[in-house]
Homo-oligomer: A and B are copies of this chain.
Amino acid sequence: MLSFDEYKSLINKHLTDFIPETDCKAAVLRESMEYSLTIGGKRLRPVLLLAACDFAGGDIDQALPYACSLEYIHTYSLIHDDLPAMDNDDLRRGKPTNHKVYGDDIAILAGDGLLNTAAEVMTGEVIKYAGHPHLMERHARAAHEIMSRAGIRGMIGGQTADVKGEYMEADADLVKYIELHKTADLITAPVRAGLMLGGADDEMLEAFTSYALDTGVAFQILDDILDFEGDAELIGKEVGKDKDLGKCNYVCVHGLDAARAELHRLTSDAKASLSRYGSDADFFIELAGMLEIRKY
């Protein structure tokens, strides 16, 4: 297995390779998509996909288009989320948001373009393995896993609850739903899709699903903590927005101390899910630890 930074370099090197060529009449669309893809980012999700594929004994070259597609989906969700009609954010990763640069109309289309491109790339990959039914099935399962967790039972459902939560009483059930679907689903998708591409068995899928869901919920709780007490300059966007928007998050409902305790408990549980793999799973154990103490 490679290090986080090595996987990340691979992603950054190839991130825009899979986007189809476009006519110059739609040049601004491509420019706007690439703007948001390349202004930075942790690349956590695509790295998880490559690492999971690697862990299961798969070929990370075959996984790269899926890893990049995952980042297209993550990026589209940020572009649409930042729109004036949604969270109305001017900054993302310390840079002007897509719609501040290209206008709301192109930002909507760039988001649509990134989501569509993800599905286009992945279905194109499935066809490439037409001569190898076993591989074709793995690829189709990975594509479906990603589209399902990104969809209305997954991330889009979570976003909806997040938006609607602004008009509702803060509620522990709603917070849990938002954490699981807005965030944890898009951290679980790459782990499961990577394992599927690598040919993992059900036992491995199950252990890593627990790991990913706990890590994903912990990730959202830390985001909530950082929105409450983080450093806007480090984070690269305004803080305190959740409170201003009346959003329903873990800190608002349970308080800061409980949030820190839950973050720690979830991180420990995530690590424990992989104990059967001993030091083979060090990459994932260390990653969970790093995510627990991140400042942005």
Give A contacts to B, CB under 8 Å.
19-23, 25-26, 28-30, 33, 76, 80, 83, 85-86, 103-106, 108-109, 111-113, 115-120, 122-124, 126-127, 130, 133, 136-137, 140-141, 143-144, 147-148, 150-153, 156-161, 163-164, 173-174, 177, 181
Contacts and interface: CB of A to CB of B under 8 A. Distances in A.
A137 to B, nearest CB: 4
B127 A137 contact: yes
26 contacts: A19-B152, A20-B153, A25-B161, A26-B156, A26-B158, A29-B152, A29-B160, A33-B152, A76-B112, A85-B85, A86-B105, A109-B159, A112-B156, A113-B156, A115-B115, A116-B151, A116-B152, A117-B152, A118-B119, A119-B119, A120-B144, A120-B151, A126-B126, A127-B141, A127-B144, A130-B137
A112 B85 CA distance: 14
Copy number in the complex reads 2
A270 to B, nearest CB: 23
A265 to B, nearest CB: 24
Contacts of A115: 112, 115-116
Contact of A20 (B112, B130, B152): B152
A108 B84 CA distance: 11
A111 B152 CA distance: 11
Contacts of A156: 26, 29, 109, 112-113, 116
A183 to B, nearest CB: 15
Nearest to A116: B151
A153 to B, nearest CB: 5
A76 B112 CA distance: 10
A160 B109 contact: yes
A112 B113 contact: no
A143 to B, nearest CB: 5
